[in-house]
Amino acid sequence: MTELLPHWIKSIILPQDHPSVAASIILLFSAMFLGILVGKVKIKKVSLGISGIVFIGILLGHMGYKIQAETYEFMRDFGLILFVYAIGMQVGPSFFNHLKNEGILYNSLATITVTMAGVCSLGIFSLTGVPMDIMVGIMSGAVTNTPGLGAAKAAIHDLQINVPNHIFNDPTNAYAIAYPFGIFGIILLMILGKYLFKINPQKEADLFSESIRLKHPAPESGKCRVTNSQYFGKTIQEFLSNNNLKVIITRIKNTGSTLVESPNKLYVLRERDVLMMVGLPQDIEQAIAILGYRSKDTFIESDVDTQSKTFLITRESAIQKSIAQLNLEGQYHVKTTRVYRTGLEMLAHPELVLHYGDRLRVVGHANDLDVVGKFLGNSEKKLQEPQLLSIFIGVVLGVILGSAPLLLPGLSVPVKLGMAAGPLLVSILISRFGGIKSFHSYLQQSALLLMKEIGICIFFAAIGLHAGETFYESFIQNNGWIWVLYGLIITLTPILFLMILARYVFKLNYMPLLGLIAGSYTDPAALDFCTHYFKSELPVQAYATVYPLVTILRIILAQVLILYFTH
């Protein structure tokens, strides 16, 4: 049948020892297509999802299909960069708040997990006599950490220079054998943990969202009747400054009147005035308790004279400026109450710097609001335009950061963050601070999702095809089932310990625990699986919180084991 095909068709669709770039690209996208189809197959409501691409890649690689070496390295790193950059853009705005709060716990648990993998590896090394260079390859595959493998190979290279007569083993084969089982083991424990801890995913997600609201409360509104004579005749500014309250008074109505106004800070409070206030819950409660009591007046909510609207920040003159610098109240007699940014709802305090794509809630008279809308831009069409400049410069800076050698005491080989941690850190910073000058960082959620999914698909296809080339031969020659067993011990033991410690000691919600597991193993496949299987993006924040530190620790651990225990 194949004899009937033209030579040029054969060269791009049949296995080749020296494939062209065209053949490599066709193979890569075919693996992604078939892998997604396989990933959709459900067995007892469980499916591999996009992780199926890895296993299809291994199968195609075993069948003799190869990807050109240079194309493999480029596509592997390119896919990983796209994936982690999208993750960083997604979590950036809230990353530092979580780092200050849950971050210490998350990174401490991740450090324990990394350490336990090292302890397991040392234990197997001591009991079985498996050479440490092979053992580190098994460990790197078991914890799905490619930078650790690269660090181990660099350390072996340095040792070879110092001890030229010694024959070292290449850890790559051990890594390739342990890697797919590492992915499968992590995913398996995520599913088993659901039943072990009797997890209701929706209930767990609701509990986590509620805990976030308690720790990081969103602004709310409250109505107050002024009855405290101490403040009769005092201005709003005097009341707020005397009590150090971050409250915005958006509307006011005099007793017996139906006229609702948006007052400035020099408005003089009168007996039985009704105020509409916006602020954090504790400030609202305190303000009401000081001024009088919570009012049930409904006239103050009237939109006849005073309205509230939400505007998009899309005009250059309004970007990277604080609310105080914009001075909307002074210029247009309106009050800014809330700022919405990538799922966050924030109080519009004067120091808050506005980013491209932010949504502002503004209160004022209709005519003033129309002028404010034009000043801020408020262009949904402009928001649809992809902000490519910040992505390009961000990736450049991320790759530079990931390539920079870091000299750590006691190690002969410089440590590098790599193509994952470098772009991830840069994207978090760019997303958090809104971009670089006129390079806006805003991306719609649909664009981020597309970027993330394409990136992870390319990464999975590349590593699967590459591992599949030598997987079977290495497995047979090296009694692969023994290496698989060692790898599974290194994969499963730290996760089981982490799950028990996190759930029973620290009472950690299962949603961030999933992200913590995936991040502790620097495993994008596990993250992608749990977000789809549990139908929640909540694990992403924990994943990004621990990923940079874990990457460094995995690199250091691999080098330390090689340098101290390889003879």
Per-position DSSP letters for 284-308, written without gaps between them: HHHHHHHHEEE---SGGG--SS-EE
**% of the chain with per-residue pLDDT over 90:** 28
Token pair 């008279």: residue: 365
What confidence category does residue 413 fall into, taking pLDDT thresholds of 50, 70 and 90?
low
Residue 47 has pLDDT above 70, yes or no: no
Residue 246 has pLDDT above 80, yes or no: yes
Q: What is the mean pLDDT of residues 160-165?
A: 70
How many CB atoms neighbour CB 479 within 10 A?
9
How many CB atoms neighbour CB 9 within 10 A?
11
pLDDT for residue 355: 81
Ranges 73-87, 88-102, 260-274, 340-354, most confident:
260-274
What confidence category does residue 508 fall into, taking pLDDT thresholds of 50, 70 and 90?
very high
What is the amino acid identity at position 221?
A: S
Token pair 């700022």: residue: 339
What confidence category does residue 148 fall into, taking pLDDT thresholds of 50, 70 and 90?
confident
d(CA 76, CA 227): 67
Spatial CB neighbours of 325, under 8 Å, sequence gap ≥ 6: none
pLDDT for residue 503: 93
pLDDT for residue 532: 82
What is the amino acid identity at position 285?
A: E
Selection from 183, 91, 88 nearest residue 512 by Cα: 91
Q: Where exactly are the structural domains of the chain?
A: 2-211+388-565, 217-382
d(CA 440, CA 181): 41
Residue 53 has pLDDT above 70, yes or no: yes
Selection from 543, 432, 552 nearest residue 83 by Cα: 543
Residue 2 has pLDDT above 60, yes or no: no
pLDDT for residue 408: 65
| More confident: 435 or 154 | 154
Contacts 24+ apart (CB under 8 A), 252-261: 252/276, 252/300, 253/297, 253/299, 253/300, 258/299, 258/302, 259/305, 260/299, 260/300, 260/302, 260/304, 260/305, 260/306, 261/305, 261/306
pLDDT for residue 92: 74
Handedness of CA 385, 389, 390, 392 (dihedral sign): positive
Residue 515 Ramachandran class (φ > 0 left, ψ -120 to 50 alpha, else beta): alpha
Q: Are 561 and 132 in contact (CB under 8 A)?
A: yes
Q: Are 357 and 314 in contact (CB under 8 A)?
A: yes
Among 24-38, 233-247, 508-522, 532-546, the minimum mean pLDDT is found in 532-546
What confidence category does residue 233 fall into, taking pLDDT thresholds of 50, 70 and 90?
very high
How many CB atoms neighbour CB 409 within 10 A?
4
What confidence category does residue 541 fall into, taking pLDDT thresholds of 50, 70 and 90?
confident
What is the amino acid identity at position 276?
A: M
Residue 114 has pLDDT above 90, yes or no: yes
pLDDT for residue 500: 94
Q: Are 399 and 419 in contact (CB under 8 A)?
A: yes
Selection from 481, 524, 461, 454 nearest residue 55 by Cα: 461
Q: Are 50 and 1 in contact (CB under 8 A)?
A: no
* Helices within 40-68 (DSSP H only): 52-62
Residue 520 has pLDDT above 90, yes or no: yes
* Helices within 299-342 (DSSP H only): 323-326, 328-332
**Phi/psi of residue 14, each to 5°?**
-105, 155
Selection from 249, 356, 248 nearest residue 311 by Cα: 356
What confidence category does residue 449 fall into, taking pLDDT thresholds of 50, 70 and 90?
confident
Selection from 549, 561, 474, 546 nearest residue 58 by Cα: 474
d(CA 157, CA 168): 9
What is the amino acid identity at position 67?
A: I
**pLDDT tens digit sequence for 174-186:** 887 888 889 889 9
Among 188-192, 293-297, 380-384, the minimum mean pLDDT is found in 380-384
Say whether 471 sits in a helix, a strand or coil.
helix
What confidence category does residue 208 fall into, taking pLDDT thresholds of 50, 70 and 90?
confident
What's the half-sphere exposure (Cβ side, CA atoms, 13 Å) at 31?
Answer: 34
Handedness of CA 379, 385, 389, 390 (dihedral sign): positive
pLDDT for residue 67: 86
Residue 15 has pLDDT above 80, yes or no: no
d(CA 137, CA 143): 10
For the chain, what is the mean pLDDT?
Answer: 84
**Phi/psi of residue 522, each to 5°?**
40, 45
Q: Are 251 and 261 in contact (CB under 8 A)?
A: yes
Q: What is the mean pLDDT of residues 184-202?
A: 90
d(CA 515, CA 536): 11
| More confident: 153 or 331 | 331
What's the half-sphere exposure (Cβ side, CA atoms, 13 Å) at 111?
Answer: 7
d(CA 233, CA 548): 56
Structure tokens at 271: 């007996």
Output the CA–CA distances (angstroms, integers) from residue 231 to 132, 244, 517, 521, in the order listed: 76, 15, 55, 59
Among 280-284, 286-290, 535-539, the minimum mean pLDDT is found in 535-539
What's the half-sphere exposure (Cβ side, CA atoms, 13 Å) at 29?
Answer: 7
Residue 436 has pLDDT above 70, yes or no: no
Ranges 49-58, 282-291, 301-310, 447-456, most confident:
282-291
What is the amino acid identity at position 395?
A: V
Among 11-15, 27-31, 78-82, 539-543, the minimum mean pLDDT is found in 11-15
CATH topology of domain 217-382: Alpha-Beta Plaits (3.30.70)
What confidence category does residue 437 fall into, taking pLDDT thresholds of 50, 70 and 90?
low
Distance, C-alpha 168 to centroid of its chain: 38
**pLDDT tens digit sequence for 482-501:** 999 999 999 999 999 999 99
**pLDDT tens digit sequence for 128-146:** 989 998 999 999 989 988 7
